[in-house]
Amino acid sequence: MITSKDFDFTTKELVKTLSYCSCKNNREAYADVIVNGRKYIKLGTLQAVTVVCDVYKIFNNTTNMVEYWACFGMAKQHPNDLQVNKDLAYETAHLNAQLNPFCILQVNKRFGQNIFLDIIRPYINDMDLEFVKTKEEIKCGKPFDAN
């Protein structure tokens, strides 16, 4: 088992930062909903997701070798946000990669954008995302449904 004692974090070096945002993708989707016992198809736009990956070079004291570790952070568009703020999403995802990563992987030296995208795209496609609310839904004051 790997512990924090195995690594010398004082000499960690940021090697690269990779990012991906689904905001330019087609996020149109549909869902079956039941209102007053009648089934309807709800059409809408899903939340945008931004992922940032920081790759660090860290010395392992146990093996006396340099290892590469990737820390992934994520930001999701709030359902009440009608527009995507890419700068804020990137900043939030990058902060989450540093302080609260949702995934930490040991990677090799060649880890780059293509492998990063091969990991992240299916992950985002499998997420349970909510529809971005319309102006009318926000005006009605319906409570935010955090599944």
Residues β-bridged to residue 103? 72
pLDDT of residue 116: 96
* pTM for the predicted model, two decimal places: 0.84
Indicate the pLDDT class of residue 12, thresholds 50, 70 and 90: confident
pLDDT of residue 4: 53
pLDDT of residue 111: 95
Q: What is the dihedral of CA 72, 75, 76, 80, to 10 degrees?
A: 170
Per DSSP, the three-state class of 95 is helix
- CA angle, 129 then 121 then 33, to 5°: 25
Q: What is the mean pLDDT of residues 124-136?
A: 91
Question: Which pairs with CB-CB distance under 8 Å and at least 24 residues apart come from 3-8?
Answer: 5/61, 6/60, 6/61, 6/62, 6/63, 7/58, 7/59, 7/60, 7/61, 7/67, 8/58, 8/59, 8/61
DSSP-assigned letter for residue 82? S
Measure the CA–CA gap between 13 and 121, rounded to whole angstroms. 27
Which tokens is 136 given?
A: 């009318």
pLDDT of residue 146: 43
Residues β-bridged to residue 21? 50
Which tokens is 97 given?
A: 């990669």
pLDDT beyond 90 at 144: no
At 54, the amino acid letter reads D
71-100: per-residue pLDDT in tens?
999 999 999 998 889 999 999 999 999 999
**Measuring CA to CA, how many Å separate 64 from each of 61, 67, 77, 89, 98?**
5, 10, 42, 37, 25
